[in-house]
Amino acid sequence: MKRIIGFTFLMLFACISYSQETIKSGTWTEKSYEVKGKWSIVKADDQYKIVLNDYFKTKNAPDLKIFLSKKSKGDLKSSNATKEAVFVSKLKSAKGGQEYVIPADVNIEDYQSIIIHCEEYSVLWSAASLK
């Protein structure tokens, strides 16, 4: 009985500790390369995070990074992808679920797009609208 109560308490604590609210979500629009899977922006424990789901997959490249851009996805090109954009993180992997903490001083409402960009070769990989 003690084991059942202890297990129930741990599961309840885990659910409370990891509760998160989805703020925005969507799919990727191909720019230079296809990106599969969905993304979301969640709020968890007073932090905003970009979450790529388990089905995330794209072609591997040496310098893929995630940015939030003030430009609309339709206005984005390789030549202007990082202008008016804030760097979030280097992409951890070309496939699989992953999370990235958005810098605390970034107001998500100021940005129109989330992008994956290969900085080394100045290639806009993919984009998605936040609006």
pLDDT at 4: 56
Cβ atoms of residues 92 and 98 within 8 Å: yes
Q: Taking the model in full, what pTM does it have?
A: 0.83
CATH of domain 21-129: 2.60.40.200
Give the Cα separation of 21 and 115 in Å (integer). 21
Give the Cα separation of 56 and 53 in Å (integer). 6
Kindly list the averaged pLDDT for each block of 10 residues, start to end, along the chain of length 131. 51 55 94 95 94 96 96 95 97 97 96 96 96 86
